[in-house]
Structure 1
Amino acid sequence: MRKILVLILLTVTLPLFVRAQDVQELSLKKAIEYAVEHNKQLQSSRKDIDLYRQKVRESVSQGLPQINGKLDYSTNFGYKMSFGQGGTIKMKDQSNAKVTASQLIFSGQWILGIQTSKIAERLASQQVGITELDIKENICNTYYAILVSERLRDIVRQNLENMDQIYEHTQNMYNAGTVEITDVDQIRITVGQLKNSLSSIERNVEVSYNLLRLQLGLQAESPVKLTESLDYFLKQEDFVKLGVKKFEIDNNPEYQLSQTQEDLSKKMVGLQKWTYAPTISGTYSYNYKLLKPDFDMSPKHSAGLTMDIPIFSGLQRKALLEQAKIELEQSSLNKSLLEDQLYVNEKQYKYELKNATDNFFLQRDNIQVAKRVLENMQRKYEYGAVSSLDLTQANNNYLEAENNYTNACLTLLQAELQLERLYNELSY
């Protein structure tokens, strides 16, 4: 019986365990697509579009026919009205069923209100687009940060393996009496520093993976594997094309948003102007007497037209109109300011991209030189031609060159990314 229970338990839990260990393999494009679909911040932003879509329907419905029904009943508890000399009239109970239909015939505010609601919906859609663009940019930055950290981790790990071998070789030389204990200590300290550096980098890598999981909308500790290498993105050399590309400001999402905000402010001015205009509406009523008195003069059918004419509101309408005009001026100034800022940003980003490109090529050449110097020092050290201090200095120079190159790679990719973000061309 116990064996059967164990078998059932394994049958139920094993598939769950296997699924839990599935690794999410992600290219940058796949990571972005996954985030666009599952990122919780983006999902919340998309609800704004649905919200404003319903507000448009609300605005439209105000101009559609409105039909209401009413059913009432009243009683006077058999009260009799006396006319003197014994003459009385008994007040009968009354009950009415009434249907009223009303229709807005003309209202400038209603027409402009629909247009304003549609612009607000477009504004919400553009804001969602900007949020989506921010998510894509954040995914790219985190993806790049992981790649450069993993590259540096692999470099330090390989270097640690080499220094371990050198440390063992130095220990053997000391045992043979060919070097001093200070040489052993020097290499040992270098090995210890490399181990600390490796542990720190590994922690940074895990932190970056946790950030990526959060951005993707994955659960914590979900296994993730990046399928593209750092060299893959560096070989694209899109930064060369971006450096000479012309900036089309109308394609920038923030500028598009400012244009829509200006359009919305214009409609709000028009909306306030229409508060001075009359509103015309019509009504129709059908009244059916379920219980009626003996003498009843009320008609079953009735209809009417109503014109509401605003005359004086204590200057409230004028104040609201002036507020809308001021807000329109602010929107226009903000759009003009944003335009100036975007052109300044473009020049700054291109300047940063040029500097990052030059530094990238410089640091790439530098690590080749530092690597050759280190390999030369290692050979000389094995033959006793240089001291352990010279070797550790060369090793430190090489690691510094690798670190500088790694930082240059990340700076270059980030400079490229912020210019693509400005151009609205995150095309991964």
Structure 2
Amino acid sequence: MKRTIIAISAFALGIQLYAAEPWTVDSCMQYAACHSHTVRQQQYALDNSRVAKTQAIGAFLPSVYGSVSGQMNFGRAIDPETNTYTNVSTLYNGYGLQASLDIFDGLQRYNELRMAKANVAMGLSAVQAEKDDVALKVYKAYMDLVYCQGAVEQTLKKRDESQALLHQTEVMAEVGQKSDADVAQMRATLAADEYELTHMQSQTTKAMLALKQLMNYPADSALTIHQPTFEQELQPIDTPLQIAAYAATSNPRILKAQQGVEAARYSLRAARGALLPSLSLSGGVSTSFYRNMDKGGHASFSQQFKNNAGEYIGLSLSIPIFNRLATSSTIRRRKIALDQARENLEYEQSELQRIIIEAASDVENSTKEVTKMQEQVEADSLAAYLTTRKYEEGLASSIDVKTAAVTLLQSRVKLLQSQLTMAYNKKLLAYYKGEKLWKTL
């Protein structure tokens, strides 16, 4: 009980230490890889494969078992001492120790051991693949949260500007420079900004909960994230075919599919081994004790235990002839499983190549989009500034001001979205090039 309390306290302390400073995207991904439910499920599957491997190793060892039997005879029976029929009551005890060892079984145990080793390797790849999948989902959720927080910041800035402009319009209306319609329009603009701010704050809360869920982080604990920086320059990258060639030998999903083919192949070989004869060696020792319940005079237990002891050794050859098509059906099922594993490997390879080509294209396009959006933000900022000045001078209407402000807000939000998309695509492409998704803290 004390250990459990200490463990819980250490876990809570770890969360508090993490929460004391903003979480980077690397720390979020690392936390999710260690605490995700899906990763733990894969870890349990790996543990099960390891147990199966231990069982496959144990199949090469001899089996040893002992036996003890007791029997009470009433009426007509064979006297074990004289080997003649008797009508007295007798007590009989038997003791034995036997051992058996399979010498040859058509290489079934050998192939099952190789299959178990392949399953363990496949389990390791599955755990790593699940960690990577969770990390990429966390990265995407982290960027979604950054986007929502950025949109809230931009919307809040626009709300403050609308509030200041409303106050200025009310002052100008008092001196006759603006009409009541202008004041009403500015109030409507401020109300729209308030609504948009509330909406984006709600989206931010949902994005935060989504990130915590992927991380398996306590929903009621505080989580502050670090605002990332973006590299706009397009770094020299390998061609998609070069990246795909590298990923085909290192990506955990491809490795898992390859190991699945290997495990299915050994499983098929083990099934075919059942068609071959099997040879086993057995041996043991046995002894017994006999007592006549109607009269005495029997030898002592120790004397009978020694005198009745016997040993035996045997060699057994079993040749399969017909087992109601069980073996042939098993072979057929495992051959189908091998074909499925090969098909899955081909699918994973083709899907990997498609994703890499798409990611490489997205990196190039998103980098261009960021550059164009930066230019658009600059132009829209200048247009919004000039429109506001014209409005103050009476050369533009309140609707013109609202339109320019909304356009500027949309441009800024789109710029942030383009930067986040570019960062995600770069991370995805770097992952397939063999880089780790997160830096160990």
Q: Which of these residues, 101, 104, 112, is aligned with residue 102 of structure 2?
A: 104
State the match for 2:259 in structure 1. Answer: 260
- Describe how 1:29-428 pairs up with structure 2 within 5 A: 29-77=26-74, 90=88, 92-107=90-105, 108-227=107-226, 229-230=227-228, 232=229, 234-235=230-231, 237=233, 240-242=235-237, 244=239, 246-247=242-243, 248=246, 249-291=248-290, 300-428=310-438
Question: Shift of the alpha carbon at 1:159?
Answer: 1.5
Checking the alignment, whether the CA contact within 8 Å between 1:136 and 1:426 is kept in structure 2 is no
**Alpha-carbon separation, structure 2, partners of 1:191 and 1:226:** 29
- In structure 1, runs of 5+ residues without a counterpart are 1-14
2:57 aligned partner, one-letter code: V
**Alpha-carbon separation, structure 1, partners of 2:355 and 2:344:** 16
Checking the alignment, whether the CA contact within 8 Å between 1:66 and 1:102 is kept in structure 2 is yes
**Percent of aligned pairs with the same amino acid:** 17
More displaced stretch, 409-418 vs 388-397? 409-418
Question: Shift of the alpha carbon at 1:98?
Answer: 1.2
Q: 1:144 to 1:241 in 2, by over 3 A?
A: farther
Q: Secondary structure at the match of 2:231?
A: helix
Question: Shift of the alpha carbon at 1:141?
Answer: 0.6
**Alpha-carbon separation, structure 2, partners of 1:339 and 1:88:** 80
Checking the alignment, whether the CA contact within 8 Å between 1:242 and 1:419 is kept in structure 2 is no
More displaced stretch, 25-34 vs 165-174? 25-34
Question: Shift of the alpha carbon at 1:148?
Answer: 1.7
Checking the alignment, whether the CA contact within 8 Å between 2:283 and 2:311 is kept in structure 1 is yes
Checking the alignment, whether the CA contact within 8 Å between 2:135 and 2:437 is kept in structure 1 is no
Question: Shift of the alpha carbon at 1:163?
Answer: 1.2
Q: 1:24 to 1:301 in 2, by over 3 A?
A: farther
Residue 26, structure 1, aligned to residue 23, structure 2: yes
1:412 aligned partner, one-letter code: M
**Alpha-carbon separation, structure 1, partners of 2:175 and 2:278:** 107
1:311 aligned partner, one-letter code: I
Checking the alignment, whether the CA contact within 8 Å between 2:148 and 2:200 is kept in structure 1 is yes
Question: Shift of the alpha carbon at 1:109?
Answer: 0.5
Q: Secondary structure at the match of 1:240?
A: coil
Q: Secondary structure at the match of 2:95?
A: strand
Checking the alignment, whether the CA contact within 8 Å between 1:21 and 1:223 is kept in structure 2 is no
Question: Shift of the alpha carbon at 1:168?
Answer: 0.4
Q: Secondary structure at the match of 1:386?
A: coil
**Alpha-carbon separation, structure 1, partners of 2:363 and 2:232:** 15
**Alpha-carbon separation, structure 1, partners of 2:384 and 2:21:** 38
2:235 aligned partner, one-letter code: V
2:56 aligned partner, one-letter code: S
1:381 aligned partner, one-letter code: Y
Question: Shift of the alpha carbon at 1:106?
Answer: 2.0
Q: Secondary structure at the match of 1:26?
A: coil
State the match for 2:295 in structure 1. Answer: none
**Alpha-carbon separation, structure 2, partners of 1:47 and 1:54:** 11
Checking the alignment, whether the CA contact within 8 Å between 1:262 and 1:328 is kept in structure 2 is yes
Checking the alignment, whether the CA contact within 8 Å between 1:137 and 1:421 is kept in structure 2 is no
Q: Secondary structure at the match of 1:44?
A: helix
Question: Shift of the alpha carbon at 1:167?
Answer: 0.2
Question: Shift of the alpha carbon at 1:166?
Answer: 0.6
More displaced stretch, 25-34 vs 378-387? 378-387
Checking the alignment, whether the CA contact within 8 Å between 1:213 and 1:222 is kept in structure 2 is no
Q: 1:188 to 1:77 in 2, by over 3 A?
A: same
Q: Secondary structure at the match of 1:137?
A: helix
**Alpha-carbon separation, structure 1, partners of 2:160 and 2:317:** 91
TM superposition score normalised by structure 2: 0.84
The one-character-per-residue Cα deviations of 1:251-270 (angstroms, maximum 9, x if unpaired) are 22222222112112221221
2:170 aligned partner, one-letter code: Q
Checking the alignment, whether the CA contact within 8 Å between 1:106 and 1:279 is kept in structure 2 is yes
Question: Shift of the alpha carbon at 1:143?
Answer: 1.1
- In structure 2, runs of 5+ residues without a counterpart are 1-11, 80-84, 293-297
More displaced stretch, 260-269 vs 193-202? 260-269
The one-character-per-residue Cα deviations of 1:131-189 (angstroms, maximum 9, x if unpaired) are 11111001111111111211121111112111101100101111111111111111111
Question: Shift of the alpha carbon at 1:203?
Answer: 0.9
**Alpha-carbon separation, structure 1, partners of 2:278 and 2:166:** 93
More displaced stretch, 122-131 vs 410-419? 410-419
Question: Shift of the alpha carbon at 1:88?
Answer: 5.4
Count of residue correspondences: 405
Q: Secondary structure at the match of 2:69?
A: strand
Question: Shift of the alpha carbon at 1:326?
Answer: 3.8
The one-character-per-residue Cα deviations of 1:296-352 (angstroms, maximum 9, x if unpaired) are 997521111112111233444334334433433343343234323322332222222
2:118 aligned partner, one-letter code: I
TM superposition score normalised by structure 1: 0.86
Checking the alignment, whether the CA contact within 8 Å between 2:166 and 2:186 is kept in structure 1 is yes
**Alpha-carbon separation, structure 1, partners of 2:132 and 2:148:** 24
Question: Shift of the alpha carbon at 1:67?
Answer: 1.3
2:62 aligned partner, one-letter code: P
